[in-house]
Amino acid sequence: MNETDKKCSKCSSPMIRGFLLDHTDGGIHRDQALWVEGRREKQTWAGTKLKGKDVREVDAYRCGQCGFLEFYANAQRSDFIA
């Protein structure tokens, strides 16, 4: 399905693509929210353990009519694979 063809599952109106901005993990600025496989594991000093986990950026789509949000995980990020 083309991203311009996405329809709201609640009211069938067109969905608008966006993303979630995340500033919170250990005070480190991230450009986009990430989906991480499994449960959260804190690192010794700060932040969350990501190395070796399936990590994906999250796209969000908002319904222009009713405001319903849907989230989709993109392709795996290779910079966290080890």
What is the pTM assigned to this prediction? 0.65
Is there a contact between 80 and 52 (Cβ–Cβ < 8 Å)? yes
Please give the residue that has the higher pLDDT: either 82 or 68.
68
For residues 36-60, give the mean pLDDT.
Answer: 82
The partner residues of 56 in beta bridges, in order of sequence, read 35, 76
DSSP conformational letter for 23: -
Tens of pLDDT along 8-32? 999 999 999 987 776 665 666 566 7
Decide: residue 8, CB within 10 A, 0-12 exposed, 13-18 middle, 19+ buried.
buried
Where are the chain's structural domains? 3-77
